[in-house]
Structure 1
Amino acid sequence: MPRTIWSGAISFGLVTVPVHVQSATDDHSIRFRQYHLADMGRVRYKKVCELEDREVAQGEISKGYEVSRDHIVPISDADLENLPLPTAKAIEIDAFVPLASVAVRGDRCSAVC
């Protein structure tokens, strides 16, 4: 059964319509892992600091904006949360389709093009 990825409401003046958005596709891709041919050991990715040439723990990693090669502005998660994003809680409607153009198959629904 599809999982709801967003829920909210659309308002048209005094009329409010509740909306639940579900993904329209299923993921059928194949996931591969990388192995060493000689002994079939799993190959993993290590996060290494370029300056210290040592592996870095996840807790030591942060985000930053590179202004120039020698000047990086650190960005924290709190900085990102405080950004006033107008699209953070909005969804854009491109078009409405007639109900007859939507095919329902079992517990799945898809648009007929």
Structure 2
Amino acid sequence: MPHAVWSGAISFGLVTIPIKVTAATEGHSIRFHQYHLEDQGRIRTRKFCEVEEREVPTHEIGKGYEVSKDTLIALTDEDLAGLPLPTAKAIEIEAFVPYESIDPIRIGQGYFLEPDGQVATKPYTLLRQAL
């Protein structure tokens, strides 16, 4: 059973319907591990500081945006949480376009939208039928 990859709401006008998004496809590719041929020990990816030339523990690792080769803007979790993202949990329906006008190359992985909870089922069904 696929699990929700995102939950939020569809909003149009004064109507807001809670939804969840699930992937329409599943990956069935085979994933391999790297191992040491001599003793079959797992090979792991280490976090390594290029300046100090040492392995760095997770609590010493931060996030940053590289503006240029020599300029990095450090960002904290608090910085990211404080960003005003009015659309972070809502999909605002503004317009509809004919299916033929969408280039299939631009459509990546497909997703299903479904109502999130019993209360959302009826308005979601009405929206789906209207579309």
Query: TM-score w.r.t. structure 1 length?
Result: 0.65
Q: Flag structure 1 segments of 5+ consecutive residues without an equivalent.
A: 97-113
State whether structure 2 residue 60 is matched by structure 1 residue 79. Answer: no
Structure with more relative contact order (C-alpha pairs < 8 Å, separation 6 or more): 2
CA positional deviation for 1:36: 1.7
Q: Do the aligned partners of 2:8 and 2:19 also contact (CA within 8 Å) in 1? A: yes
Amino acid at match of 1:40: Q
- Give 2:42's aligned residue: 42
State the shift of 1:83 in Å: 1.4
Q: Which has the higher strand share?
A: 1
When residues 11 and 62 of structure 1 are mapped into structure 2, their CA distance, relative to the original with a 3 A threshold, is: closer
Query: Structure 1 CA distance, aligned partners of 2:60 and 2:20?
Result: 38
Measure the CA separation in 2 of the matches of 1:29 and 1:10.
32
The size of the alignment, in residue pairs, is 98
Q: Secondary structure at the match of 1:67?
A: strand
Cα separation, 1, equivalents of 2:70 and 2:50: 14
Structure having the larger proportion of residues in helix: 2
Deviations 1:30-58 (CA, angstroms, capped at 9, x unpaired): 12100122222211111111111111000
Q: 1:27 to 1:53 in 2, by over 3 A?
A: same
SS at match of 1:91: strand
Alpha-carbon separation, structure 2, partners of 1:75 and 1:11: 31
Question: What are the ranges of 5 or more consecutive residues in structure 2 without an aligned counterpart?
Answer: 97-131
Return the letter of the residue paired with 1:23: A
- TM-score, normalization by structure 2: 0.57
State the distance in 1 between where 2:5 and 2:61 align: 29
Matched residue of 2:59: which SS? helix
1:22-101 aligned within 5 A:
22-91=22-91
In structure 2, distance between residues paired with 1:83 and 1:47 = 28
Change (3 A) 1:70 1:16: closer
Is the radius of gyration larger for structure 1 or structure 2?
A: 1
RMSD of the TM alignment (CA)?
3.1
